[in-house]
Every structure is written in structure tokens, then in C-alpha cells.
Amino acid sequence: MFPEQRREKIIELLRENGSCRVQELKNIFQVSEPTIRQDLEAMEGAGLITRQHGGAFISNYSSFATGIQLERHNNMDLKALISAKAAEFVSSGDSIILDSGTTVTEMIKHLTNKKNLNIVTPAINITLALGKEPTNTILMTGGEFKAPTLSLTGEKSTAVFDDLYVEKLFLAAGGFSLEAGLTYPSFTDLSLKKAMINSAKTVYLLVDSSKLEKVLFASLGCLDKINYLITDSGITQDYIYRLAEKNIKAIVC
């Protein structure tokens, strides 16, 4: 892997987790500690990150929590379309799980007219937005706070899903592959994502077409657990057929 590619992956990790340790990055990328430190020095020089003893954090870390809003990523126009389509599958009175992340967060705009929702979510911003409706019941996960996604995660975040069963899960992913299944920039969220999937009758995966066949470091798999994949018109007809072979129905917006 070239240094530029590795540094791009490091940025993806920081946008997901907020901060990373040098030792963790060394193990992930299978390179020496001096190599990682050189990467971090170059990235800090470009104004992308701030180094600290033993690691680094993304430069605008504090702005997420202060503003209670997520960083706007690429393809926000497509994510808006996907979220609007996903919201069509939510009815008043439903029991749902809403994942964290920009695409699922966009669903908030289209759920304010729904009543009596039972919502489980790790996302603080989603809780604050949909908790304004007095007929909604919100159950948050516990765990470690991640500022970039305004969410709670880690092993302790899964406990809330013990003996919990809901009708629908609206799930995000960093990448999706017909071979690797669901993939993410880091291993932090894998246990939480798996717990959410196992607690839902129907799983809707919300990904824009740029994430199709994009494989990141941490693979969750769970291809057989996805019922619907909601995406944009960038998906090909051949890919839709291949999804159908895996018993996944594509919903194109």
C-alpha cells in the first residue's frame, strides 16, 4: 500500500472513531511505528489531524459534539434521496432501530410526522431530534462516546439488545460487497452492528452506489441477514440481479 493510500485509510478511521493510537494503526496496517509516525506528521502538516502523545485525533473533533451535527460527507444529495425512500417504510406505531451515520440521520427529516414510534438507537442526535415527539419512545444504547458519529459504541452498547426484537432495522455501512458483506473502517462497531441485526425482523441497508463492492478493513459479513438494499440509480442492473441471487431486494431511488 502506498503512503497516500494508507493515509486516506487513516483519515477514514479517524472520521469513524475520532481518535486512534499509533500502536493500533501499526497493527492494522502491518507497518513499523516510525512509518505511522511519519504518516501522522505529514497529515498534521496538511492540517488534517492533530497529533497527541501516542496517537492522533481528527482536527475538527470538538465541533461535532458542540454543534450536535455530523460532518457532511460526499454524496449528500444521494444520501438525502436514499433516506427519503427508507422513511417510506416506517409507519406510525412501528418498532425500529436507527443506526448512526449521515445517511440514517437524514431520515430524521422524514420521520417527524410519524407518531408512537418505538425507537432504539446509538445516535445522540437522532435521540434529540425524534425525542421531541411526545408519543415516541426512545431507547438508547450505552457504551463509549464517539464524537464524529455522535453515537455510543463498544461491547457495553450491545446489552440493550438482549431479549429485544423489533420490526425494522435501518442500517449503515462503510462498504458493501457480495463476497465480504458489510464492512467498516474499524472494528469498534462490529459487535453493536451484529447485535442490531440479530434483533430485527427486517434489515434495510442504506448505502449509496459508491459503497458497492467497497471493502474496508473490518468485515462483519451478515450477507444473509440483509433483506433490502436501498441505494441510488448508480447501481447497475447486473448488480441488482446478483443481489437477488443472494435474496436481497434492491430498492433504487
Q: Which domains does the chain have, with CATH numbers?
A: 3-59 (1.10.10.10), 76-252 (3.40.50.1360)
* Measured distance CA(73)–CA(76) in Å, rounded: 6
* Measured distance CA(99)–CA(85) in Å, rounded: 16
Task: Please check whether residue 94 is in contact with residue 167, taking contact to mean a CB–CB distance below 8 angstroms.
Answer: yes
Cell representation of residue 185? 473502517
59 three-state secondary structure: coil
Residue 182 is given by DSSP the state E
Cell representation of residue 1? 500500500
**Amino acid of residue 16:** E
**Residue 97 burial (C-beta neighbours within 10 Å; 0-12, 13-18, 19+):** buried
Per-residue pLDDT of the chain (253 residues; tens, 9 = 90+): 788 888 888 887 777 677 788 888 888 888 998 999 898 888 888 888 888 888 887 766 555 555 545 555 668 899 999 999 999 999 999 999 999 989 999 999 999 999 999 999 999 999 999 999 999 999 999 898 887 788 998 888 999 999 899 999 999 999 999 999 999 988 888 999 999 999 999 999 999 999 999 998 889 999 999 999 999 999 999 999 999 999 999 999 9
Buried b / exposed e over 162-194, threshold 16 CB at 10 Å, is: eebebbbbbbbbbbbbeebbbbbbbebbbbbbb
Rounded to two decimals, what is the model's pTM?
Answer: 0.80
Cell representation of residue 122? 446509538
